[in-house]
Amino acid sequence: MPPRPAPLLALLTPILWGGLGVDISGGANVAHAADVHRPPAHTAPAAPPSGATTLSPVDSSDYLVALQAARLDDHAEAARRFAAALAVDPRDAALTRQAFIQSALAGTPDAPALARAMSGHPEERTIVTAFVLGNSAILKQDWRAAAETFATMPKDALTRLLEPFLHAWSLAGVGKADAAIQLLAGPGRAASPMTPFYVIHAGLIASIAGDKARAEQLFRQATTQTTGDDLLLARARANLLWQDGHGLEGRALLRRLTDAPTPLALASADLQEAITAPPVTTIPEGAAYAYVMGAYVLRQQAAHVGQADAEKQIDAAAGMMLSMALSLDPHLSVARLMLSEVEENSDHKDIALQVLRGVEPTDPLIRVARYRTALLQDALGDPVDARRELEDLEKGQPGQILICRALAMLLFEQKDWAGSAAAYDRAIASAKAAHLADWTLLFGRAAAYERAGDWTRSEADLQEARKLMPDEPLILNFLGYGWVQRGLHKDEAISMLQRAASLDPDDAAIRDSLGWALLENHQTQEGATLLEHAAEQTPLDPEVNYHLGVAYWRLGRKTEAIDQWNVALGLKPEPDDLQRIRKALSDAGAPASPAAASTATNGG
C-alpha cells in the first residue's frame, strides 16, 4: 500500500540541549521525587468529637476536582482546589501535603508557607520542601538561609548532583564568588560526568562577579570536557568573546550550534542577535538553570530505562525540577520548552501548549517555541492555526527545512497535495543548497505527487531516494507497490517487496504490498496468507481489507470476500479505494450492506 501520512506530532522530538550522558544510579533513587507529581492515597481524617457536624475535606467537591486536575497536570487548578479543601480542616497532614505539592508545581505564592508547615513534621521534610524553601530564600535574597537549606536537604542521587549548583549560587549571592567557584570547580571536586556542567556554572558566577578572565578560562575548560555542544555554554562564551572584541569568533561558535537541521536551527538569527547579552545576569536565573540541568539528567535517564512506568516516574521528577526552575525565573525559555516536552510525553498536549505560551516574544528561542506550538495545535485538532503559525514562521525564514517539512506534512494531512509538494520543493531546495542529502524529504514529496496522480514525478523522487538509501524498507515498499498497481516491472517489484519484507518482517503495510503483488502474479494462496496477516495487524485499514476480499474471491471463498469488502466499505476508504470496493461488490452481484453503505457515504 502507499504510505499513510505520519502525524505532524512525530516531528515533536526532544531538543538535546547539551552533550551529556549521566547515570544517576537507577530510577529507584528518584522515586520519592517523582511521586510528588501524583496525589498520594488520602488517609482518613481523625473522627470529629461526638455530636460535632463537619464536612470532611475528602467529601468536598473541591477535593474531587483537585484530584482530577492533578491527574491532568493542571497544577494551578489542583492547587486552588486543594487549598479550598484544606480550609475545611487545616490540620489534615495528608491534605496539606497534596496542597503543597500542587502549589509547588504551580509556583503559587502559598507554596513556601505550606512547605514550612510540612517541615514542622520530620517525616514531611523532603527534597521538595527544601527546594521550595531554598528558592523562596533566593527570591527574598536571604542568601544564608538559602545556602543552609540546600546544604542540609535530604540526600539522594538527584540532590547530590544538584546541591553543589544550588549551594554555590547561594554563596555567590552572599558575595562569596571565590568560595562558590571552588565548590564547583576546585581541586576538591571529584571528577564525574557532571564536572563540565559544574565548571560552566562556575564560569557564570565568575562572569556575574565581573571576573571575565576567570570566566573565560572556566568556559574554555568546560568546552574541552563536554562531549557535545551545550546551549548555555555556547551563549555564555559567545557573549564574553563579543565583549572582548572577538565577535566573529563568538558568532562562529553559535553557528556551530545551529547549523545542524534540529529545532535549534530555527533560533539561529535570534541567538546571533542576542550575543550582546549574557544568558545569566542574576542569582535566581543561575539557580534556575541548575534545576534545568537536573531535569535534563533525569530525562536522559528516562530515555534509557526501557520501562514505561519507570519512564513516567522519572519524567514526573523532571517536571518537578522544571517547575522549580520556573518558580525562580518564570520566563526561562529552556525550562518551558523542556517542560512542554515532558507534558506532551505524558499525553497532556493542552498543558504542553499552555506552558509554551509563557515564552516571551523577545526571547531568542521564541521561534523554537512557535514551531512546537504549531505541532501541538495540529495534534489538538487545530490545523488552521497550526498552518497560520508555520506559514508566518516561514516568512521570517524562507525555505527553512524544518518549517517547510512540517508545513508539507500538515498540508498532506489536509489533502492539499499540490501545496504539500510545493512545501517539500522549498525544503528540498534548501537541503541541496546546504549539501544535505535527506531521503525523507524526497519520500514525502513522492507521496504528495502520488496522491495528486502524478506517478512520473513520484517515481523519480523514489528512485532518487533509493540511491541515497537502497535498503530502506519504506522506499522499497512504496516504489514496489506503485509498480504493481500500474502493471510495471512485475518481477523487480516483487523482488523489491520481498527485500523490504526481509528487512522489516513485521510491517503490516509491507505484508499487504507483497501479498497483493503475489496475488497479481497468480500466487493466490501465498498472497492470501500474507494479506490475512496484514489484516490481523491492521483490521481498520480499508485497503488491506479490500485486498483480502479479492484474495478470498479468487480462492472461491465468495461469501467471505463479500463480507470483507463490506468491512472495507465501512472503514471510510479514500475515494479511489471506495470506487474499487463498490465495483467489486457490484461485479459480485452483492449490494453493499446498509450499514457499510451509510458509513461510506457519510465518511467517504
Give 69-80 pLDDT, tens digit per residue: 888 888 888 888
Rounded Cα distance, 139 and 133, in Å: 10
Q: Is residue 450 part of a domain?
A: no
Higher pLDDT, 203 or 190: 203
Higher pLDDT, 117 or 306: 117
Range of the domain at 97: 27-41+56-345
Q: Is residue 357 part of a domain?
A: no
CATH of the domain at 159: 1.25.40.10
For residue 455, pLDDT beyond 80: yes
Which pLDDT value is given to residue 207? 97
pLDDT-derived band at 13 (thresholds 50, 70, 90) equals low
Which pLDDT value is given to residue 489? 96
Which pLDDT value is given to residue 19? 44
For the segment 241-257, what is each residue's pLDDT rounded down to a tens digit?
999 999 999 999 999 99
pLDDT-derived band at 10 (thresholds 50, 70, 90) equals low
Q: Taking residues 531-556, report their average pLDDT.
A: 97
**What is residue 15's DSSP assignment?**
P
Share of the chain above pLDDT 90, in %: 67
For residue 422, pLDDT beyond 70: yes
Which pLDDT value is given to residue 29? 42
For the segment 29-65, what is each residue's pLDDT rounded down to a tens digit?
443 444 444 333 333 333 333 333 344 555 578 888 9
Q: Is residue 473 part of a domain?
A: no
Query: What is the value of pTM for the model shown?
Result: 0.87
Q: Is residue 188 part of a domain?
A: yes
Return the sign of the alpha-carbon dihedral for residues 522, 525, 530, 532.
positive
Q: In whole angstroms, how far apart are CA 488 and each of 29, 356, 452, 481? A: 60, 50, 19, 10
Task: Tell me which residue of 419, 509, 503, 410 sits closest to 2, measured CA to CA.
Answer: 509
Which pLDDT value is given to residue 493? 98
Return all residues near 455 (Cβ < 8 A) that are at least 6 apart.
Answer: 449, 482, 486
Which of the residue ranges 116-120, 183-187, 203-207, 464-468 would you say has the lowest mean pLDDT? 116-120
Hey, which of 222-226, 316-320, 327-331 has the most confident mean pLDDT?
327-331
Q: Taking residues 185-206, report their average pLDDT.
A: 90
Which pLDDT value is given to residue 442? 98
Which pLDDT value is given to residue 300? 82
Backbone phi, then psi, for 284, in 5-degree steps? -60, -40
Return all residues near 158 (Cβ < 8 A) that are at least 6 apart.
Answer: 24, 29, 30, 33, 127, 294, 297, 298, 317
**Pair 24, 297: CB distance under 8 Å:** yes
Q: Taking residues 267-295, report their average pLDDT.
A: 97
Q: Taking residues 15-41, report their average pLDDT.
A: 42
**Pair 264, 15: CB distance under 8 Å:** yes
Q: Is residue 322 part of a domain?
A: yes
Q: Taking residues 396-414, report their average pLDDT.
A: 97
For residue 524, pLDDT beyond 80: yes
Which pLDDT value is given to residue 59? 54
Which pLDDT value is given to residue 123? 63
Q: Is residue 258 part of a domain?
A: yes
Q: Taking residues 205-212, report their average pLDDT.
A: 97
For residue 28, pLDDT beyond 60: no
**Pair 196, 222: CB distance under 8 Å:** yes
Structural domain count of the chain: 1
Q: Is residue 403 part of a domain?
A: no
Q: Is residue 421 part of a domain?
A: no
Rounded Cα distance, 582 and 597, in Å: 9
**Mean model confidence pLDDT for the chain:** 88
**Pair 238, 253: CB distance under 8 Å:** yes
Q: What is the DSSP string of 288-357?
A: HHHHHHHHHHHHHHHHHH--HHHHHHHHHHHHHHHHHHHHH-TT-HHHHHHHHHHHHHTT-HHHHHHHHT
pLDDT-derived band at 121 (thresholds 50, 70, 90) equals low
